[in-house]
Chain A
Amino acid sequence: MKGVREVEGHTSDILFKIFGLPVTSHVTTMWAIMAVLFILGLVVSRNLQKVPGRLQSLAEFTIEGLLNFFGGILGPEKARRYFPFLATFFLFILFSNWSGIFPGAGHLKGFKPPTSTWSVTIGLAIVVFVLVQVAGIREKGLGYLAHFIKPIPLLLPLNIIEELVKPLSLSLRLYGNIFGEETVAAVLFSLAPYFSPIPMQILGILFGFIQALVFTTLAAIYISTATAEGH
């Protein structure tokens, strides 16, 4: 049951340090995902054709699909403004989730799905939290801060708690799903290494997509709520 213990992250997993900041397998996997995204983006954007090839079609489909999706939540103008953030959340989380499908994820040194640890998901959720506050103040000025004392100032603590609960629920949902899925896959693998994890891996593709979409959709909804007119 060594594998399970590793997935659960009980073992200290510091590989090395950069500027005193310890680097773990989750971090190195993030870097690998960043490298993949960077290369894919570069390959597509360096060779944009009027009549798109397969990869470009996929990229166009992804970008236009996300843009339309966010547009449905935020309206076309705000969707464009916050698109880089929302799309990056989606792509980064999607690739992180999907990285757990590969054999050896959670077992090999330096290879752990980043979203299977709460440290990473709460980090991403805190970025969402800051983004929502900044977006609210930017779009509505001090009027945004006024919503904390509405409808009555007495609710100020509750409103603050509500605001703080948002990133907490975002991060716990993502972490719980991916970690749970990883754990189940690891248990299945330790029971019967061949074939048994395959259904879990197939479901993992679906869950990974859904969780990335849920996280991003909620982030978009939070921005929409914070920047809505006449709130």
Chain B
Amino acid sequence: MEFTWYEFTWAIINFLVILAILYKFFYNPVIKFLDNRSDEIRRNITEAEQARAEAEAMLEDYRNKLAGARQEAQEIVARATRVGEEARAALLEQSRAEAATLLEKAHQEIQRERDEALKALRQEVATLAVMVAEKILGRTVAKEDHIKMVDQFLDEVGEVH
């Protein structure tokens, strides 16, 4: 085993030199680089998680909105149906009323026509009765008979009325 001071000294000098060199050109840049990359990866993961949370919130929001829109649409349809129903009912009611009015008018018309016809008939009947009476009176009918017959006739006519 040999020991020399100069090799001992060189060993220390060389170690310190390579320590400085490796620190400056190897450890420092590589460790800094690794740290940066770790930070970046960590940051990316955090960002991705945030983005996912945001997307989920957005999805939830859209779902809610969609449900709301659907409900609204249903309400609109229901309202429209109700309005249509009401309009139909109103129209029907109106038509019914109109029809009733027309029917009433028609009845009245018929009544009037009948009344007129009756009146005309009565005149006709009276005229005819007078003519018939003249003829009969002109031959055999007594005065009492005549009165009796007219009375009777008038009664009959009145019954018809």
Residues in chain A within 8 A of chain B (CB atoms): 8-10, 21-24, 26-27, 30-31, 33-34, 37-38, 40-42, 44-45, 48, 50, 59-60, 63-64, 67, 80, 83-85, 87-89, 91-92, 114, 117-124, 126-127, 175
B34 pairs with A30, CB closer than 8 A: no
Whether a CB of chain A sits under 8 angstroms from the CB of B9 is yes
Could you tell me how many residues of chain B have their Cβ less than 8 Å away from some Cβ of chain A? 30
Q: Which of chain A's residues has its CB closest to B2's CB?
A: A9
Report how far A63 CA is from B11 CA in the complex, Å.
Answer: 23
A44 to B28 Cα, complex, angstroms: 12
**A118-B2, A121-B11 known; 10 other A-B pairs, CB under 8 Å?**
A24-B4, A26-B7, A34-B21, A37-B18, A42-B26, A44-B26, A87-B27, A119-B8, A119-B11, A120-B8
The contact of B14 among A30, A59, A64, A85, by CB within 8 Å, is A30
A residues less than 8 Å from B14 (CB atoms): 27, 30-31, 34
Least CB distance, B9 to chain A, in whole angstroms: 6
Given A88-B18, A124-B15, A24:B25 Cβ within 8 A? no
Name the prevailing secondary structure of the B interface residues.
Answer: helix
Secondary structure at chain A's binding surface: helix, strand, loop or mixed? helix
CB contact under 8 A between A88 and B30, given known A122-B3, A123-B8: no
Closest 3 CB pairs of A and B: A123-B11, A41-B26, A119-B7
Q: Taking CB as reference atom, which chain A residue is nearest B14?
A: A30
Does B59 sit at the interface, judged by CB under 8 A? Answer: no
- 21 of the cross-chain contacts (CB-CB < 8 Å) are A8-B2, A22-B6, A27-B14, A37-B22, A37-B26, A38-B22, A48-B30, A63-B30, A63-B34, A84-B22, A84-B27, A87-B27, A89-B15, A92-B18, A114-B11, A117-B7, A118-B3, A119-B8, A121-B11, A122-B8, A123-B12
